[in-house]
């Protein structure tokens, strides 16, 4: 049992024999589910990459508040003995109301120590926040259910949902301790998403170690914690993504000056990552955020008619930051697997010939074309059609690249030379989609009054089919297109 005695404002707790078996993963999982076991780290990365297991601390190493947390758990265990096995899920759900009532008493006991953090094994930090926020079951997909205005632990008050994706949800929250607005990525409770979150946490820590000032253009992680089986990553609050800004402007393209600035910043961030042996692998406008949400409205002269004035938004600040490192990998871990969002996927990924740093450069080039045109360059969802679109814009894929795939790409080609498109399965819609495309110069010319030769030269070298001959991020930054920009 965990015995407690209150003397004035101080609480004295002695830990003797407990009903809880801390070596039982089911018991720990139950504690996490009802919100009485919370892990939080402010400084370091996870103990090991790809590790999801909990380091169960010796109760003697816990802070006073954490011991009281175990006292509360022991009380619940006496009321619901079947919880010890972690198998009686009905009992787990039934005890939530009881746990909330016990938390009221615990809040008084923990008053002097509720914010205290105590390092446990492996430099992990264990914290207790009382009372526990209301419990909501996850939805059927493992997303955290929440109500605006409630708390995510006692520290963060939920203001609104600002995003949702395959990985989970992003909530805008008020950090009551730091007194600032933050964005919290709440990852789905499924194991594969929790694993990806731990990888992202490790990458974010690596990026931050070499960039204390936050000047390298990668989003900064404030801290991370586990909340009711959801990995939660706290970020600085940024503005909208470049995709959201384009959409708000009805997909009216950015000016060439902004494309230069965004492209330069993006390549600087990628060069920084590549220097750390990191490959992002999922670059797209949705993962590039403006630092500020502020904008001004100006007359859109290109789309303004004689009797109708069209307005468009311009960001007040051009600063951007790169986000979403859940798919980021170290160079030593590169494989032949498929990666990145379809529209920004490099040819070597589709051909199965192996990928590395150059796949990020191809994605950046796709983003720059999209910023110039307001349209996705390769709007496709199928490999053969995707390759046909590439050939329409850049010409035939060299046969030696097909052979480099060691047979994986042969199904897309006749005699390893000619793309097998259209084939008997190709639809009319697919043919029309490919034929709508044209050479890169002509595509850009539809949206730019004059296509800068330096821009065309840069993109052609970033879109090189052979990843071995494609520009690196550092080489691209030395290209005349960005040198001209730096003199403006």
Could you please report the per-residue DSSP string of 312-380?
A: EEEES---EEE---TT-EEGGG--S---S-GGG--HHHHHTS---THHHHHHHHHHHHHHHHSS-S---
Residue 29 pLDDT > 70: no
Residues 187 and 205 in one domain: yes
Task: Report the alpha-carbon distance of residue 234 to residue 220 in Å, rounded.
Answer: 9
Task: Report the alpha-carbon distance of residue 263 to residue 473 in Å, rounded.
Answer: 10
Task: Compute the mean pLDDT over every residue in the chain, rounded to the nearest whole number.
Answer: 80
Q: Say what the pTM is.
A: 0.74
Residues 138 and 128 in one domain: no
Closest CA to 79 of 98, 66, 93: 98
Residues 216 and 276 in one domain: no
- In this predicted structure, what is the pLDDT of residue 335? 64
Place of tokens 């990026």: 207
Q: What is the mean pLDDT of residues 176-186?
A: 97
Residues 125 and 166 in one domain: no
Least confident of 79-83, 360-364, 453-457: 79-83
- In this predicted structure, what is the pLDDT of residue 188? 96
Residue 100 pLDDT > 60: no
Helix (H, G, I), strand (E, B) or coil at 402: helix
Domain, as residue range, for 102: 1-132
Task: Report the alpha-carbon distance of residue 72 to residue 110 in Å, rounded.
Answer: 11
Helix (H, G, I), strand (E, B) or coil at 251: coil
- In this predicted structure, what is the pLDDT of residue 134? 75
Q: What is the mean pLDDT of residues 375-379?
A: 97
* pLDDT grade for 20, boundaries at 50, 70 and 90: low
Task: Report the alpha-carbon distance of residue 140 to residue 121 in Å, rounded.
Answer: 34
Domain end marker among 132, 165, 183: 132
Q: What is the mean pLDDT of residues 353-367?
A: 97
Q: What is the mean pLDDT of residues 64-76?
A: 54
* pLDDT grade for 5, boundaries at 50, 70 and 90: very low
- In this predicted structure, what is the pLDDT of residue 75? 58
Report yes or no: 443 and 369 within 8 Å, Cβ to Cβ. Answer: yes
Give the pLDDT confidence of 109-125 residue by residue, as tens digits. Answer: 333 333 333 333 333 33
Residues 114 and 232 in one domain: no
CATH code, domain carrying 206? 3.30.200.20
Residues 150 and 195 in one domain: yes
Residue 106 pLDDT > 70: no
Q: Which residue has the higher pLDDT, 437 or 122?
A: 437
Distances (CA, A) of 352 to 225, 395, 466: 37, 20, 13
Report yes or no: 470 and 347 within 8 Å, Cβ to Cβ. Answer: no
* pLDDT grade for 104, boundaries at 50, 70 and 90: very low
Domain end marker among 107, 132, 157: 132
Q: What is the mean pLDDT of residues 17-42?
A: 51
Residues 385 and 457 in one domain: yes
Distances (CA, A) of 165 to 21, 156, 162, 198, 463: 37, 21, 11, 17, 29
Q: Which residue has the higher pLDDT, 340 or 183?
A: 183
Residues 97 and 179 in one domain: no
Task: Report the alpha-carbon distance of residue 198 to residue 167 in Å, rounded.
Answer: 12
The number of domains in the chain is: 3
| Beta strands 118-119 and 125-126, pairing class | antiparallel
Residues 408 and 296 in one domain: yes
At 334, list the tokens: 């590169």
Task: Report the alpha-carbon distance of residue 122 to residue 57 in Å, rounded.
Answer: 10
The residues carrying an active-site annotation are 282
- In this predicted structure, what is the pLDDT of residue 411? 93
Q: What is the mean pLDDT of residues 2-28?
A: 46
Distances (CA, A) of 284 to 90, 362, 363, 376, 410: 44, 11, 7, 10, 29
Residues 325 and 468 in one domain: yes
Q: What is the mean pLDDT of residues 63-92?
A: 54
Report yes or no: 353 and 404 within 8 Å, Cβ to Cβ. Answer: yes
Residue 457 pLDDT > 60: yes
Residue 97 pLDDT > 80: no
Place of tokens 């992990």: 124
């Amino acid at each position: 049992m965990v015995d407690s005695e209150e003397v004035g404002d101080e609480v004295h707790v002695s830990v003797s024999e407990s009903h809880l078996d801390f070596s039982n993963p089911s018991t720990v999982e139950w504690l996490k589910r009802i919100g009485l076991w919370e892990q939080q780290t402010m400084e370091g990365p996870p103990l090991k990459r790809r590790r999801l297991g909990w380091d169960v601390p010796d109760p003697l190493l816990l802070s006073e508040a954490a011991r009281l947390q175990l006292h509360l758990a022991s009380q619940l265990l006496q009321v619901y003995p079947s919880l010890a096995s972690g198998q009686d899920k009905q009992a787990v759900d039934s005890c939530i109301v009881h746990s909330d009532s016990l938390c009221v008493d615990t809040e008084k006991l923990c008053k002097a120590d509720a914010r205290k953090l105590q390092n446990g094994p492996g430099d992990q930090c264990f914290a207790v926040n009382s009372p526990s926020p209301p419990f909501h079951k996850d939805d059927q997909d493992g997303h955290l259910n929440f109500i605006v205005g409630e708390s995510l632990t006692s520290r963060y008050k939920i203001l609104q949902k600002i995003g949702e994706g395959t990985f989970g949800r992003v909530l805008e929250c008020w950090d009551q301790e730091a007194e600032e607005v933050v964005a919290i990525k709440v990852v789905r409770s499924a194991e594969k998403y929790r694993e990806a979150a731990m990888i992202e946490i490790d990458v974010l820590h690596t990026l931050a170690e070499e960039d204390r000032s936050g000047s390298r253009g990668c989003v900064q992680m404030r801290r991370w914690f586990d909340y009711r089986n959801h990995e939660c990553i706290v970020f600085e609050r940024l503005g909208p993504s470049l995709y959201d800004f384009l959409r708000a402007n009805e997909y009216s393209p950015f000016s060439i000056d902004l494309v230069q600035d965004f492209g330069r910043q993006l390549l600087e961030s990628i060069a920084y990552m590549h220097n750390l042996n990191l490959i992002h692998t999922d670059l797209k406008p949705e993962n590039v955020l403006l630092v500020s949400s502020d904008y001004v409205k100006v007359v859109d002269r290109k789309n303004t008619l004689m009797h109708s004035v069209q307005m468009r938004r311009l960001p007040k600040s051009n600063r951007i930051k790169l986000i979403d490192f859940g798919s980021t990998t170290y160079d030593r871990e590169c494989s032949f697997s498929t990666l990145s969002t379809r529209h920004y996927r490099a040819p070597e990924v589709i051909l199965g010939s192996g990928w590395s740093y150059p796949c990020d450069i191809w994605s950046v080039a796709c983003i720059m074309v999209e910023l110039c045109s307001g349209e996705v360059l390769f709007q496709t969802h199928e490999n053969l059609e995707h390759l046909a679109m590439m050939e329409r814009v850049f010409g035939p894929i060299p046969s030696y690249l097909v052979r480099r795939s060691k047979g994986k790409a042969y199904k897309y080609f006749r005699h390893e030379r000619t793309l097998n498109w259209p084939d008997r399965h190709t639809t009319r819609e697919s043919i029309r989609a490919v034929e709508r495309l044209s050479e890169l110069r002509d595509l850009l010319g539809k949206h730019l009054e004059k296509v800068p030769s330096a821009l065309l030269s840069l993109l052609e070298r970033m879109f090189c089919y052979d990843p071995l001959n494609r520009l690196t991020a550092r080489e691209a930054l030395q290209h005349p297109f960005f040198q001209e920009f730096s003199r403006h």
